[in-house]
Amino acid sequence: MPETFTVGVLGARGHTGAELMRILDDHPYVEMAFAGSRELAGEAVPGLEGLTFENVSPDDVAKRPLDAIFLALPDGIGGPYVEEIADDTVIIDISSDHRFDDDWVYGLPEMFREKIKGARRIANPGCYATALQLAIAPFAGDIDGVPTVFGVSGYSGAGTTPSPRNDPENLKDNLIPYRLTGHNHEREGARYLERTVRFMPHVHPAFRGLLVTTHMPLGEQTTVEAAHERLSSAYDGEALVDVQEEIPTLKDGTGRRGVLIGGTTISEDGLGLTVVAVEDNLLKGAAVQAVQNLNLALGLPEISGIL
């Protein structure tokens, strides 16, 4: 194993890119080659001594000797870079561009770890899709009907381009529902859980943090104790998934590098299961998961640089 791997980040100016840079700066096996940002080109990267933002073209990337590259770009922007990057370079795309592409590995380690190991093209999951799948997956074989998911996240999930959903004044004392059918993360969860899911996202005034409340109709009656034990067993040994009995709140996910799942509740008839999952949308929902995928792809300890 080389002492270090050389990696680059495109889209380093955004919220996710900034988190990613901070994690990589602490990574014991990584050396940063560049931080790509057209808008900030020439400026020093805050907190990372000696690194300057660069305006990096696809041709520039192709000429760099890289072991891996992160695409922390808006949807639909990364294509020209992917075309130029060498086949043996690991690409981790944090956008949604390849989450439905069979030629790319879907990077949710707790569900697809073995496929991610050694992969060279990895599609990082969406933030909501991560939380809702991890909440539902342990019970997928018991569900009889369509799970419904209420989601709420901080406005950093709406990106840096100004909009009503990331305007603090518009969000003050407010909760904004949006894209209530056909959200990409609804389609994503349905694809990899292999079942229909209904998802209703909302954005609230905090900058970061994410919560999903999932309701699952069951084919057979169960108890709170049995459902909690199912969750605990499913994630026993997972460094980035914690399970508790209490209902987690959105603040419990803010700043957390993994996912916290709890609040297991059963309806009076024993056939309705509710589970709550929280995470930080910029961390396990994006940057932490991307580094987790990098480690698996390069054969490194999975949580190197993360915890």
The CA R_g of the chain, rounded to the nearest whole Å, is 19
303 is catalytic: no
The pair phi, psi for residue 84, each rounded to 5°, is -95, -15
Catalytic residue among 127, 250, 275, 298: 127
Q: Say which residue the tokens 């998934």 belong to.
A: 241
The pair phi, psi for residue 263, each rounded to 5°, is 65, 25
Q: How many CA atoms lie within 13 A of 231 on its CB side?
A: 26
Query: Residues near 85 by Cβ (< 8 Å), separated by ≥ 6?
Result: 61, 62, 66, 69, 91
33, 146, 247 from 201: Cα distances, Å: 36, 17, 19
Is the distance from CB of 130 to CB of 259 less than 8 angstroms? yes
**Amino acid identity of 290?**
A
The pair phi, psi for residue 66, each rounded to 5°, is -115, 140
Candidates 242, 131, 149, 247; CA nearest to 196 is 149
**Residue positions annotated with a catalytic role:** 127
